[in-house]
Amino acid sequence: MAKLKATAPVSVEALDAHPLPQATETFHPVAHGSLHNMFLQASEAAGLTVVPAKFQLAPNGEMAIGTYNLIDSRLDTTETKAQIGWFNSWDKSCSARMYMADEIKWCTNGMVFAMRVLARKHTANILADLPGGIAKAMHDAVPKFLGNRMRIDTYKSVALETKDADHLLMEHWRQGILGDRQLKRAHSEWVEPTYNAFKPRSVWSFHNAITESLKSAVVFDAPHLTTLSNDILDAYTNFSEPVFAGAN
């Protein structure tokens, strides 16, 4: 598990303050600054505006992260952010990765609370493949954000009775999304929400109870388990991921 023992936020100029290791026949490191430039070029080509929010660098420069705010007229960011970001290493500990979320949360234990949309190992052809992968992810970014926000609106609009919540909890347990400990935590969070925003008896409040309980799951399992939970709740609410014109 890659661990980013990051310093305080650094400037973009500091990303390449350390010398890049020599490439070999099977390993081709990518400079952090180069990845930043790929993001800017891909976002411009996709007609998006990305504003750097934060860069962090490991003490010896071997790992770095970049986080950007996505600005687009189709997205209302007055209440909810839209962020994209990357995680890169040149010590063979982690592939080059791209993430997106309303707000990306990076943890020093290697966990990223966001949806991973791209991962590319540092093999000989990475510089030929990575720009195209980033470009496609940028192209699909706004539809993905819009689709997820439509999911949230649907979850908020569907009321959930106690008997149905109990059934959904057990379905999460039966499918292995929740273990015994997470099941107890999710039930407690549903019955007595920690935050007032989740007191309404809706599928959205139930979804929050699930995600709160998954904070105690194995860190790298949490995003996958959340996706499985969404599948159950999508079926319950009859929500289908929309297909937007121009999205591949």
Q: What is the mean pLDDT of residues 185-206?
A: 95
So where are the chain's domains?
A: 12-148, 158-237
Sheet with 96-106, side-by-side order of all strands? 49-57, 63-71, 83-89, 96-106, 112-120
pLDDT for residue 218 is more than 60: no
Stretch 71-77: mean pLDDT: 74
Is the pLDDT reported for residue 244 higher than 70?
no
Enumerate the β-bridge partners of residue 238: none
Q: Is 2 exposed, middle or buried (0-12, 13-18, 19+ CB in 10 A)?
A: middle
Tell me the two tokens of residue 108: 């020093």
Q: What is d(CA 81, CA 76) in angstroms, rounded to the nearest whole number?
A: 8
Question: What Cα–Cα distance (Å) separates residue 36 from each residue in 7, 14, 39, 65, 226?
Answer: 18, 12, 5, 10, 29
- How far is it between the farthest Cα atoms of the chain? 61
State the chain's mean pLDDT as an integer: 86
Tell the residue number behind the tokens 């026949």, with chain if given: 25
Specify the pLDDT at position 248.
Answer: 41
Q: Which long-range contacts (CB under 8 A, 24 or more apart) does 21-25 make?
A: 21/90, 21/91, 23/124, 25/124
Backbone angles phi, psi at 149, to 5 degrees: -70, -30
pLDDT given at position 116: 77
pLDDT digits (tens, 9 = 90+) for 128-140: 999 999 999 998 8
Region 212-229: mean pLDDT is: 74
Residue 60 — very low, low, confident or very high, per pLDDT cuts 50/70/90? confident
Q: Please spell the DSSP secondary structure of 152-204, one letter per residue.
A: HHHHHHSB--HHHHHHHHHHHHHTTSS-HHHHHHHHHHHHS-SSGGG-S-BHH
